[in-house]
Amino acid sequence: MYRVRFCLPLIVMFAAFHGGVAEAQQIYFKGEYLLWDRSNGADATILSGAGGVSADDASFGYASGYQFTLGGSSDVFSIEASFLQIPNWTDSWSGTLALPLAFDDPTNAVVFPGGANGLGFSSALSTAAMTPGLEDDEIEYIEAGATFQSRYESTFDSFELNLGSSRTSRPVFFALGWRHMELDETAATLLRGDFQAADAGDGDLPGAGSVEGNDGLSDAALTAAGFVNISGPDGFMGYDPTAIPPVITTIGVSYEGTAYNDLDGVQLTVGGVYAASEFVSLRGTLRGGVYQNDSQASIRESIFGIVNDTSVYQRTFRDGRKSASFAGGLGLDVVIAVTDYVNFTLGYQGLFVTNMALAADQSKGITTDLFGNTRYNIVNDALFVAHGSNVGLELLW
């Protein structure tokens, strides 16, 4: 799709400028290497409490990308097409939970005298662990020492086509154009640890001392909470610590969010060039535009056995929404003339876009209404900010 869009301005420019004789006529091509940082913007909490896991723990840092620009200018008007991509902003982090992770009641001091972590959103695990008549007299949890891994990945693409006043005959120019932008993301957190269940009232563990509940998290409670069984429909059992040897079930709990932003809109560009010397000039641009963002997102919650259990349960939600977004940007380049036909460029660019859906925020979209029904609405209210340096070569003819 991008190849077709990129070829159209090329055809138009050669048709408009081929055979021209005016001194101000010019066709140019610029290739640039980008090194950009971006804001996180997501603040959803996956695990609450001391040493928990939050989406704002992610720090992307600088990632490499590229930008290609093809343009032409006569003494009256100019046309320019540009494609930009940052293919892989990534951050990952991991750790060990010093506290247990309670599915239903991390404040229960009988079971957790030293405190516990909790699930930071409307999780199906919490719903299952509090199922009336099945699990509400027990505390289901992952024991302290569980490990977690989080990973956040993001890709940004932009294509724009602008038509405006001449960029060669005047020091100041303006252009009106169309721009397409895409921000695609995935964010995932995986926990691994030993599963246990304790009586809520006295903290007794499975075995001779436990007289309440079913000593586990049942298939009936999990499916009633909205999970779909993929394999091994027998739920998960806690273990008797007095048994020799104890049969300990190790489980995994994962949360994965995705978000896709597809923006199309019109933008106004104002720019100018200042010749500092015969060989060096400064070039600056300001951009602003209004866009329709067609955003799509999903959130998937999974619990599965790793050791002594093969059960796999998943719950997935999907939603989409079209909304208005505003984007603005700026650019500043130092242009050094190497020859009459080759320029070296060094500069800085910045961009911000409103009302974006971020993958790590999607767990916040899960809610429960007054009737106890679970709902999911895409979260697309984040501000996306990216900026960084660029270095490239510009060819003129």
pLDDT digits (tens, 9 = 90+) for 171-225: 899 999 999 999 999 999 999 999 999 999 999 999 877 777 899 999 999 999 9
Phi/psi class of residue 118: alpha, beta or left (left: φ > 0; alpha: ψ in -120 to 50)? beta
Question: Residue 177 — φ and ψ, nearest 5°?
Answer: -155, 180
Which one is predicted more confidently, 10 or 77?
77
Per-residue model confidence (pLDDT) at position 373 = 85
For residue 324, is pLDDT > 80? yes
Strand, helix or coil for residue 234: coil
Per-residue model confidence (pLDDT) at position 57 = 83
> Mean pLDDT of all residues in the chain?
91
Give the pLDDT band (50/70/90) at residue 19: very low
Per-residue model confidence (pLDDT) at position 146 = 96
Q: Per residue in 123-152, pLDDT tens?
A: 999 999 999 988 989 999 999 999 999 999
Asked if residues 133 and 82 have their Cβ atoms less than 8 Å apart, the reply is no
For residue 281, the cross-strand partners are 275, 335
Per-residue model confidence (pLDDT) at position 10 = 46
Asked if residues 12 and 83 have their Cβ atoms less than 8 Å apart, the reply is no
For residue 94, is pLDDT > 70? yes
Segments making up each domain of the chain, as ranges: 2-396
Alpha carbons 260 and 266: distance in angstroms, whole number: 20
Asked if residues 120 and 44 have their Cβ atoms less than 8 Å apart, the reply is yes
Residues 6+ apart with CB under 8 A from 95: 51, 147, 148
Q: Per residue in 35-52, pLDDT tens?
A: 999 998 888 888 998 888
Per-residue model confidence (pLDDT) at position 262 = 98
- H or E element: which one contains 129? helix 124-129
State which amino acid sits at residue 380: N
For residue 5, is pLDDT > 60? no
Alpha carbons 335 and 343: distance in angstroms, whole number: 6
Asked if residues 36 and 131 have their Cβ atoms less than 8 Å apart, the reply is no
For residue 149, the cross-strand partners are 94, 190
For residue 167, is pLDDT > 90? no
Alpha carbons 119 and 303: distance in angstroms, whole number: 13
Asked if residues 246 and 240 have their Cβ atoms less than 8 Å apart, the reply is yes
Q: pLDDT > 70: what percent of the chain?
A: 94
Which one is predicted more confidently, 389 or 5?
389
First to last CA, the chain: 28
For residue 11, is pLDDT > 70? no
Alpha carbons 366 and 299: distance in angstroms, whole number: 9
Q: pLDDT > 90: what percent of the chain?
A: 77
Give the pLDDT band (50/70/90) at residue 59: confident
Give the pLDDT band (50/70/90) at residue 9: very low
Q: Per residue in 341-393, pLDDT tens?
A: 999 999 999 999 999 999 999 999 999 888 778 999 999 999 999 999 999 99
Alpha carbons 36 and 390: distance in angstroms, whole number: 8
Per-residue model confidence (pLDDT) at position 111 = 95
Give the pLDDT band (50/70/90) at residue 24: low
Phi/psi class of residue 9: alpha, beta or left (left: φ > 0; alpha: ψ in -120 to 50)? alpha
Tokens of 350: 């910045």
Which one is predicted more confidently, 3 or 199?
199
Alpha carbons 125 and 226: distance in angstroms, whole number: 9
Phi/psi class of residue 301: alpha, beta or left (left: φ > 0; alpha: ψ in -120 to 50)? beta
Per-residue model confidence (pLDDT) at position 397 = 87
Per-residue model confidence (pLDDT) at position 3 = 44
Tokens of 114: 């030293």
